[in-house]
């Protein structure tokens, strides 16, 4: 029985860093899951034969069903599941189409739950699940509220699941980074360059997340900046936090 890691959103900046770091783990294969075959092939070429490309659009029911069937057919020993795939844009809620709203919720929330349920029957004591949430889950965040709300869901779901799976010896960690220097960030908004306080590299987030999950933590908070944000979210009223946020984005809205 092959021991594997499954990493979704593997071709993105943070996903690639998870692949790089998971290569150091004791697994036979890394299933890299993404929707772009060309990028998946490039990833395999970059990281070697241990990487297995799995084309899958996680916002589509048929693709999810095919991934479930693949797991059931191969019955692997899943050591790591990293739900990294996600999406989110900045803008007023009224600007988002029905399709964009549905796709965001399907990818950021629904796919996370389904993949956990697909993987858990093939996990044993010592296995780990890392679900990528966000520092935006600490408070309501106007103008990225759909993305932020979906990450609140991920954080709550993951920490609860960690308690449920404790008897099985499976660790679930909600990874809550701040701004990560990847292509997912919009470098400008309405023609203005955007500043990202506390910006960190994707490798730093991946390394910290894997280290924290190995320690059995149900949350991973990377960088002193984000730890301060987390602390403030516990002591300040949310209305105050939203005013601080709105002041910070005053040049963009």
pLDDT tens string 138-160: 999 999 999 999 999 999 999 99
Residue 166 DSSP SS3: helix
Phi, psi of 94 (to 5 degrees): -65, -15
Q: Checking DSSP bridges between strand 3-8 and strand 219-220, what pairing results, if any?
A: unpaired
Look at residue 105 in the predicted model and tell me its pLDDT: 96
Can you tell me the distance from the alpha carbon of 168 to that of 165, in angstroms, rounded to the nearest whole number? 5
The per-residue pLDDT of the chain, averaged, comes to: 95
Give the count of domains, the chain.
1
In order of 13, 179, 250, 253, the CA distances from 189 in angstroms are 21, 15, 12, 9
Residue 175: give the domain boundaries.
3-248
Contacts of 226 (CB under 8 A, 6+ apart): 135, 176, 177, 178, 198
pLDDT value at position 91? 86
Tell me if 72 sits within 8 A of 117, measured CB to CB: no
Look at the alpha carbons of 222, 29, 73, 170 in this order and tell me if their dihedral is positive or negative: negative
- What pLDDT is stored for residue 74 in this prediction? 96
For the beta carbon of residue 172, count every other beta carbon within 10 angstroms: 26
pLDDT for 195 equals 81
- Whether 150 is covered by a domain: the verdict is yes
Are 64 and 114 within 8 A, CB to CB?
A: yes
Low-confidence ranges of the chain (pLDDT < 50): none
Q: Pick left, alpha or beta for residue 9 (phi over 0 → left; psi -120 to 50 → alpha; otherwise beta).
A: left
Would you say 124 and 169 are in contact if contact means Cβ atoms under 8 Å apart?
yes
Q: Is residue 236 part of a domain?
A: yes
In a domain, 116, yes or no: yes
Residue 253 lies in a domain: no
* pLDDT at res. 32: 98
Per-residue pLDDT, 189: 67
Q: With contact defined as beta carbons under 8 Å apart, do 229 and 178 qualify?
A: yes
CATH number at residue 74: 3.40.50.720
Residue 204 pLDDT: 97
- Asked, for residue 195, whether it belongs to a domain, the answer is yes
User: What was the pLDDT predicted at 73?
Assistant: 97
Q: What is the rounded CA–CA span in Å between residue 150 and residue 141?
A: 11
């Amino acid at each position: 029985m092959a021991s594997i890691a499954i990493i979704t959103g593997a071709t993105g900046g943070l996903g690639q860093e998870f692949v790089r770091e998971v290569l150091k783990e004791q697994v036979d294969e890394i299933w890299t899951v993404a929707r772009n075959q060309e990028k998946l092939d490039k990833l395999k070429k970059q990281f070697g034969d241990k990487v297995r490309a799995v084309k899958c659009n996680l916002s589509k029911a048929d693709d999810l069903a095919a991934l479930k069937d693949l797991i059931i057919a191969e019955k692997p020993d899943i050591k790591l599941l990293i739900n990294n795939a996600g999406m989110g844009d900045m803008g007023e809620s009224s600007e988002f189409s029905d399709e964009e709203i549905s796709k965001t919720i399907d990818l950021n929330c629904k796919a996370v739950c389904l993949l956990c349920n697909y993987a858990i029957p093939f996990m044993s004591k010592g296995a780990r699940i890392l679900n990528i949430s966000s520092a935006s889950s600490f408070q309501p965040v106007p103008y990225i509220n759909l993305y932020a709300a979906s990450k609140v869901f991920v954080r709550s779901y993951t920490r609860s699941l960690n308690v449920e799976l404790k008897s099985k010896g499976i660790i679930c960690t909600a990874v809550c980074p701040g701004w990560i220097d990847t292509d997912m960030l919009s470098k400008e908004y309405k023609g203005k360059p955007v500043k990202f306080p506390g910006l960190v590299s994707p490798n730093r987030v991946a390394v910290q997340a894997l280290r924290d999950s190995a320690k059995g933590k149900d949350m991973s908070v990377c960088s002193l900046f984000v730890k301060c944000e987390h602390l403030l979210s516990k002591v300040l009223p949310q209305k105050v936090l939203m005013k601080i946020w709105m002041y910070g984005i005053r040049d963009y809205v």
